[in-house]
Amino acid sequence: MPASRPHIVVEDLRIGWGNRVLMEHVSFGVERGTTLAILGGSGSGKSTLLRYLIGLEQPMAGRIDIDGVGAPHVYSGVPPFGVLFQSGALFSSLTLAQNLALPLTTWTSVRGPLVEDFVQAKLDLVGLGAFAGHLPGEISGGMKKRAGIARAMMIEPDLLFLDEPSAGLDPISAVELDNLIVTLSRNLGITVVVVTHELPSIFLIADDCIVLDKEAKGIVARGDPRRLRDESAIPFVHNFFARSSPSASAAGGR
Amino acid sequence: MGCDQSVVAVRTEADGERARLVPAGTFDLAHASAVVRAVEQAERNLISNGDVDLHLSALERIDGSGALVLARLIDRLEARGHRTRLIGDDNSNAVRLITLYRERAADARPKPTPRIGPLARFGVVTAALPGTVTSALDFLGQAAAAVPRAFLSPRSVDWSSLPRLMQAIGADALPVTSAANLLVGLIIGFLGVAQLRRLGAVVYVPELVVVAHFRELGPLVTAIIVAGRSGAGLASELATMQVSEEIDALRSMGFHPVSWLVVPRCLALVITLPLLTWIGDALALGGGLLATSAITDLTPRAYVLGTAETITGAHFLDGMIKTPFLGLIIGLIACGQGLAARGGAAAVGERTTTAVVLAIFGVIVISAVFSTLFTLLGI
């Protein structure tokens, strides 16, 4: 496998429905083993872009290529990536342990007590070891998210898509989760695509980022988030990273 | 998944007083079973009681699952008193992964849920019965209290949703209820002809259709269809609102969910069910006409005349008077079940199913009560 080919290639993507175009001319690549953050204001289409990347919807135009296999809308065999949906998307009639066991027993030959060991270990990694027998309805939103991440990692994928992983988590859990992502990324070479707004997270985990804007209908900035924060001349991008709002400062704020 | 067994192994070597374990090969999820077997084999081969070095240089590939198995191995060795060392200067990734899985192993283990036998399960259901009855009565109380409140403070009810509800519950159900009533009229016609023809009394079939359908079958069939259709629709709508915190939001804004949501829905049912039944009754007469025209010499004109002679206000009203009550029971059961949903998607499904079953049963019970009452009163 040529090591130089990017893990994900997106070329001239156009996303929309009917006459409405949400974004167009979206092109970017994600190198293997790096972490890309997809940033933007609310309504800019970050989570929507993620849905297209994982193949849940078909774009109006353009190309998405994951691992040289082509468009991800045809799944046959082991899913090539793990996905965390915004609220965890756990199956509400199964316990956490059953939720996590499902990808394992479906796509691998692992059976019996080994399944429990793997499930328990992944839950321990996200700090939910004591809740394996709980139903999703019995745990908090942040815990559901963490369980969702554990489930996304069950088949040891080399690509993870995470939709707002640390939103709604307390600061300690959030930083533990970020550290976990960094560890997995650096030590296992997992490629991670994260949709997030959390600035401390972005600076910690992201190697690269793209900033979407609803009005511009596409990518307005890209690159190393630290460099963008320090050097960007675009007001929207500067305000985003400096966590400042033009109206707040105009009203004589701090 | 055909994996080459010889690719995965854990070599045990002695190094003076220290034992050396060298995992070799692909320690990943695809080879999980082989990895576990190799590790167990190595543990059995370990004879020394001294320190153990785990060399990671021969690992071709390692992922989370492989790291976990090795981490647990080290845990077990240390629990047995061996001092272990991880040696992986050229494989620091593996070292960090194994350390991660060892660090994050929680001390807290979930308590295994005890299995309960069928008798205990029966006990649980019975013990919950008083609670179920109490909450049902509580809901009925709230519904009753909502009626005067609707007059005293009209803004407690979402009147603006009434037209849309009447459309969905009434107008949209019209094709189905009309077709069903037409067919039931047809069935009564065939049945009547079959029985009365033996007595040479086919001329009484129109009266049979009027009496049977107007008094009993019309309201019953229409209500059962609406119970299935709108019972499911209302229960699932309210159950989904409940599990997505919309009901909590209503309460936090000072609305009474029963006034705001349940009153318009019950009202829509009470208004539209009589209308649906009325139209159904008319179509049933047509069904009876079709039946008799098809299999007897009774002319359509004779049928119509026979119907006109026997159709009385009493037959019609005795059937129609049940319909508002049937609508009300469907509304109360469906909304009550919906609001009682707790949990997630599974709860919505459960409540919807219970609502439909109870609503259909409730409709049949109410019809039976009215029939008994009318018979006893000689109406």
pLDDT tens string B137-149: 999 999 999 999 9
For residue A121, what is the nearest residue in chain B, using CA coordinates?
B105
Ramachandran sector of residue A59 (left: φ over 0; alpha: ψ -120 to 50; beta: rest): beta
B281-310 pLDDT tens trace: 999 999 999 999 999 988 999 999 999 998
Residue A124 with chain B: CB contacts under 8 Å: 101, 104-106
Question: Mean pLDDT, to the nearest integer, of B155-180?
Answer: 95
CB A29 within 8 A of CB A68: no
Name every chain A residue with its beta carbon within 8 A of the beta carbon of B343: 92, 135, 137
Supply B25's token pair. 């090969």
Count CB pairs under 8 A between chains A and B: 89
Nearest to B346 among A93, A110, A120 (CB): A93
Give B94's contacts in chain A (Cβ within 8 Å). Answer: 187
pLDDT in the model for residue A76: 63
Residue B250: pLDDT over 60: yes
Contact of A98 with A90, CB cutoff 8 Å: no
Q: Cβ contact (<8 Å) for A109 and B36?
A: no
- Work out the end-to-end distance of chain A between its first and last CA atoms, rounded to an integer number of angstroms: 53
Contact: B33, A122; criterion CB under 8 Å = no
Give yes or no for residue A166 having a pLDDT over 90.
no
Q: Is the dihedral of CA B118, B124, B127, B129 positive or negative?
A: negative
What gap in Å lies between CA B280 and CA B182, rounded to an integer?
A: 7
Strand blocks (E) in chain B: 9-15, 18-27, 52-55, 59-62, 84-87
| Partner-chain contact B68 A188, CB within 8 Å | no
Of B168, B167, B145, B169, give the one whose Cα is nearest residue B157: B145
Mean local confidence (pLDDT), B357-366: 97
Of B178, B186, B179, B198, nearest in space to B303 by CA? B186
* DSSP assignment of A189-212: --EEEEE---HHHHHHH-SEEEEE
pLDDT (tens digit per residue) in B323-344: 999 999 999 999 999 999 988 8
Q: For the residues A61-85, what does the mean pLDDT come to?
A: 78
- At A194 the pLDDT is 95
Q: ipTM value of the model?
A: 0.80
d(CA B31, CA B66): 9
pLDDT for position A3: 55
* Token pair of A97 as six digits: 């342990």
* Structure tokens, B9: 């192994």
Check B63 against A188: CB less than 8 A apart.
Answer: yes
A92, two tokens: 């509400």
**Which of A222, A253, A221, A254 is closest to A236 using CA atoms?**
A221
**Which residue spans within B81-172 are E strands per DSSP?**
84-87
Q: What does the mean pLDDT of chain B come to?
A: 90
* pLDDT score at A44: 85
Q: Of residues A140 and B111, which shows the higher confidence score?
A: A140
Q: Return the exposure string of A27-44: e unless at least 16 CB atoms fall within 10 Å of the residue's CB, then b.
A: ebebbbebbbbbbbbeeb
Cα gap A134→B111, rounded to integer Å: 10
| pLDDT the model gives residue A245 | 65
Cβ contact B267:B169 at 8 Å: no
pLDDT over 90 (residue B152): yes
Q: Do B346 and A109 touch (CB under 8 A)?
A: no
Q: What pLDDT shows up at residue A131?
A: 93
- Mean pLDDT of all residues belonging to chain A: 86
Higher per-residue pLDDT: A159 or B18: A159
- Over residues B171-189, the mean pLDDT reads 96
pLDDT at B113 over 80: no
Distance CA B119, CA B321 (A): 45
Rounded to the nearest 10 degrees, the angle between the axes of helix A171-188 and helix A141-152 is 10
User: B33 vs A109: CB contact, 8 Å cut-off?
Assistant: yes
Q: With an 8 Å Cβ cutoff, are A114 and B32 in contact?
A: yes
- Spatial distance between the Cα atoms of B241 and B254, rounded to a whole number of angstroms: 17
- Minimal CA separation from A183 to chain B, in Å: 8
Mean pLDDT confidence for A108-130: 91
pLDDT recorded at residue B375: 93
Query: d(Cα B32, Cα A86) in Å, to the nearest integer?
Result: 31
Contacts of A118 in chain B (CB under 8 A): 32, 65, 68
State yes or no: pLDDT of B81 exceeds 90.
no
Those residues with Cβ within 8 angstroms of residue B337's Cβ, 6 or more apart along the chain or in another chain = B235, B238, B239, B351, B352, B354, B355, B358
Residues A22-36: what's their mean pLDDT?
Answer: 93
Q: Which of A137, A156, A183 lies closest to B344 in CB terms? A: A137
**Got the DSSP string for chain A?**
--TTS-SEEEEEEEEEETTEEEEEEEEEEE-TT-EEEEEE-TTSSHHHHHHHHTTSS--SEEEEEETTS--TT---SS-SSEEE-TT----TTS-HHHHHHHHHHHHS---THHHHHHHHHHHHHTT-GGGTT--GGGS-HHHHHHHHHHHHTTT--SEEEEESSSTTS-HHHHHHHHHHHHHHHHHH--EEEEE---HHHHHHH-SEEEEEETTTTEEEEEE-HHHHHHH---HHHHHHHHT--HHHHHTT--
Is the per-residue pLDDT at A64 higher than 60?
yes
Cβ-based contacts of A132 with chain B (< 8 Å): 110
What is the Cβ-side half-sphere exposure of residue A136, based on CA atoms within 13 angstroms? 24
Percent of chain A at pLDDT > 90 equals: 39
